[in-house]
Amino acid sequence: MESPSGSPPVPETPGSAALLAPAGGLERCATGIEGLDNIMGGGIPRGNMVLVAGSVGTGKTTLCLEFLVRGAERGERSLFISVTESAAKLIQNLSTFEFFRTDLIDQGSLVFVDLPVVYDRLGLGHEELTREEIDIVIRTIRDLVRSLGIRRLVLDSLTSLCYRIRRDEQIRDFMLRLGEELSAAGCTSLLVSEIGPTTGRYSLHGVEEAIVDGVVLLWNTRRLGDIVRVLQIVKMRGTAHSRAQYVMELTPIGILMAPHLKGGRETGGP
């Protein structure tokens, strides 16, 4: 390759294009969390399905809620599917944040759905979902997304849903089909994964992280006895992203992030 200035040609090495290419290309779904968007080159590639994995008290649900609220503010209709916590309680918790506006719910920009209520209405009362019932769940989510024009979706939590889908191949099939449906609708989704503090994997069964487009890992670590909440992007298809660790703070104006200080020491992961 000849350089325009006549200087020696720059050798092309495998992957050099990816290293040097600008982050643009794919349309972005800006999370609205400035620190997070900054380390992903502007946001999550539109249509990606992302696992938000972490143990209790790491800020998974808050991160997901802010993602939806910021989207609704930008005119992207957003849907929260709750499996464990009631919508009323979630909205009550949200009201403590200054970035939350109740009119987003009133005008239908921010929609909450309790999945257990949907199970009841559809008669899905079995402890373990059959293949047909899994199909019904996927179609129900797909119909909600299509009919309401949903652009952002959160499922909180995937883990609770997967407790009723016992077999790995069924979970794999569920994830693949859900991802296809959401991506086809241009809907960017965050799926909450509840993991133990030291599991060494990102989901209940270990197959979920292989299917999703991205994994955002959250954990609590200790420094001289104090708890520090840490975030790291492990994987994000379709964009260059930082793989460094960041400290996350849940403030009334939203999530703020700062580099995780290490002082020259290895801090490890969760």
Q: Which residues bind another protein (CB under 8 A)?
A: 223-224, 226, 228, 247, 249, 251, 253, 256-265
Closer Cβ to another protein, 121 or 222, answer by number:
222
Closer Cβ to another protein, 105 or 247, answer by number:
247
**What string of DSSP letters covers 4-48?**
TTSPPPPPP-TTHHHHHS-S-SSPEE--S-HHHHHTTTSSEETT-
Closer Cβ to another protein, 39 or 257, answer by number:
257
CB of 85 to another protein, least distance (A): 26
Closer Cβ to another protein, 37 or 173, answer by number:
37
CB of 230 to another protein, least distance (A): 9
Q: Cβ-count burial of 103 within 10 angstroms (0-12 exposed, 13-18 middle, 19+ buried)?
A: exposed
Quote the CA–CA distance of 130 and 183 in Å, as a whole number.
25
CB of 195 to another protein, least distance (A): 23
Closer Cβ to another protein, 210 or 261, answer by number:
261
CB of 156 to another protein, least distance (A): 24
Quote the CA–CA distance of 87 and 80 in Å, as a whole number.
9
Quote the CA–CA distance of 234 and 195 in Å, as a whole number.
15
CB of 247 to another protein, least distance (A): 4
CB of 228 to another protein, least distance (A): 6
Q: What tokens were used for 126? A: 């079995």
Place of tokens 């968007």: 37
Phi/psi at 139 (nearest 5 deg)?
-65, -35
Contacts of 263 (CB under 8 A, 6+ apart): none
**What string of DSSP letters covers 187-254?**
-EEEEEEE--TT-SSSSSSSSHHHHSSEEEEEEEEEETTEEEEEEEEEEETTS----SEEEEEEETTE
Closer Cβ to another protein, 98 or 120, answer by number:
98
CB of 241 to another protein, least distance (A): 20
Q: CB atoms < 10 A from the CB of 135, how many?
A: 14
Closer Cβ to another protein, 180 or 249, answer by number:
249
CA distances to 68, 160, 205 from 192, in Å: 13, 9, 13
